[in-house]
Structures are given as structure tokens and as C-alpha cells.
Amino acid sequence: MTVTDPATGKTRFAVVPASYVFLLRETGPGGGAGTEVLLQLRQNTGYMDGFWAAAAAGHVERGETAEVAARREALEEVGVDDLDLTFVTAMQRTAHDLPIDERIDFFFTARSWTGEPRIVEPAKCADLRWFPLSALPEPLVPHEAVVLAGLRAGGLPALSHHGFEEV
């Protein structure tokens, strides 16, 4: 996406920020069986419909911080509040074949919250399920799959990238 700077008349990229929340829970006695993540099956959104994605995600609105946006999206999309958010990574990504091709995504996890996760927007969400991090469904939104793989393996960098050619 580009914008024109009114002062100079020059065209610049507008970076679109978004926040993502991966709700996580431990399974089995004492949490020993592994970690599960809550994912939604996207539908009727115009972007990656038919793909599994973070249960809660969306654009950061003007005047919001990434954390406030993450909390708002979790309440709007899965009906949970009072999340104990942990920052995971900021991902700079591009998709040169899409109209909006410059993004910065802020990824968070939450292991505790208030409320029972449920589908709040049935027109946009076909399903909502818990999956082991070790056995994720397909297809997954590609840039989110990168973050989930990093969560599974550990050691996810504070800044990650997706869609850029290696230099």
C-alpha cells in the first residue's frame, strides 16, 4: 500500500500493523503431554479463507498499541478477556503479488485469560479448535506457520521476516 506525503508529494509505502494472539494451553496431567494452540478456520474474509490461523488477529487501529489491539481482537473474535500476554516476535513481511504488500505483525501468546474461547464471528470463522503444536492442521496461513514452528522449536527471534528474498 502506498500513500502520498502531502508535504513533499512523494509516494511512500504505508506499513500496515496487525496483532496476533496464539492462545496456548498445556495438556495432560500436570501439562506434561504438550502444548496446544487454539486456531480458527477462516471463511468469508477475502484473505486466506479455508486456512487455519490464529484464533485472534487483526489490524492495529489508529491510536492503539499492539497490545491493546491484541486484547481487543481476542475479545471480539473469541470472547476472552484479561489475557496474560507475552510478546513473541515482530514480523516484517511482504507479499509482492498482493495489493497490500508491506506489513508489520506483532505476535503474542497467552496462557491465561478470562472466559471460555468460542466463535464470536460465525460469518468469518468456520471452526475453532485446539491443536498440539506438534501436529498442526493444514493448510496454515504461511507467515503464521513460521511463528508456530518457532514456538514449537523455541528460540524465535524478536524480529523475524517473511516473504523477502535472501540477500
Q: What is the pLDDT averaged over residues 102-131? A: 96
Q: What is the pLDDT averaged over residues 85-106? A: 81
DSSP conformation class of 6 = T
Q: What is the pLDDT of residues 11-62, one digit of tens each?
A: 766 778 999 999 999 987 665 569 999 999 999 998 899 999 999 999 999 9
User: What pTM does this model have?
Assistant: 0.88
Residue 84 makes CB contacts below 8 A (sequence gap 6+) with 110, 111, 112, 113
Q: Any bridge partners for residue 59, and if so which?
A: 18
Residue 167 has pLDDT above 90, yes or no: no
List the single range of 12-26, 57-71, 89-103 with lowest mean pLDDT: 89-103
Which pLDDT does position 33 carry in this prediction?
A: 66
Domains of the chain: 17-154 (3.90.79.10)
Which pLDDT does position 165 carry in this prediction?
A: 72
CB 160 within 8 A of CB 89: yes
Residue 69 has pLDDT above 80, yes or no: yes
What's the helix, strand, coil split of the chain in %, to 5? 15, 40, 45
Residue 131 makes CB contacts below 8 A (sequence gap 6+) with 36, 37, 39, 52, 137
Residue identified by cell 497467552 is: 110
Which pLDDT does position 89 carry in this prediction?
A: 97
